[in-house]
Amino acid sequence: MSAEKSGWLRAAARSDLGQGEVLGVEVAGHAIALYDVDGDIFATDNICTHAYARLSDGWLDGDLIECPLHAARFDVRTGKVLDPPATEDLKAYPVRVLDGEIQVNLD
């Protein structure tokens, strides 16, 4: 399919992600977190770079996600780590909405 060729993959229905919420999904075997920040959608890896925790179990505050395990915080727009104990940034991915679907590009 052309969607696959161009690197865009379905992550969720747009209606699955409520305003101000974070949602954990699997995309092509990758654990991805989707975030709604005032209606804009962002995507990063869902696993914290510090130890093993799912950021989708944490707390989204504006454009910051706080890890549920040791409270590291990341900027969901860029994946940049803002507060320890994590020191490594998350990978962030391009996102688009097409026909009511949230799609991410993992390339």
In the complex, the residues that contact ligand FES under the rule CB under 6 A are 48, 50-51, 53, 67, 69-70, 72, 85-86
The type of residue at 58 is: G
Report the C-alpha gap between 9 and 12 in whole angstroms: 9
Nearest residue (CB) to ligand FES, 49 versus 103? 49
Nearest residue (CB) to ligand FES, 32 versus 86? 86
Structure tokens at 102: 């949230």
Report the C-alpha gap between 67 and 86 in whole angstroms: 9
Cα–Cα distances in angstroms (integers) from residue 35 to residues 5, 91, 105, in the given order: 25, 14, 15
To the nearest whole angstrom, how small is the minimum distance from the Cβ of residue 65 to ligand FES? Answer: 10
To the nearest whole angstrom, how small is the minimum distance from the Cβ of residue 89 to ligand FES? Answer: 13
CB 72 within 8 A of CB 66: yes
To the nearest whole angstrom, how small is the minimum distance from the Cβ of residue 101 to ligand FES? Answer: 29
Nearest residue (CB) to ligand FES, 47 versus 102? 47
Structure tokens at 13: 């229905």
Nearest residue (CB) to ligand FES, 14 versus 68? 68
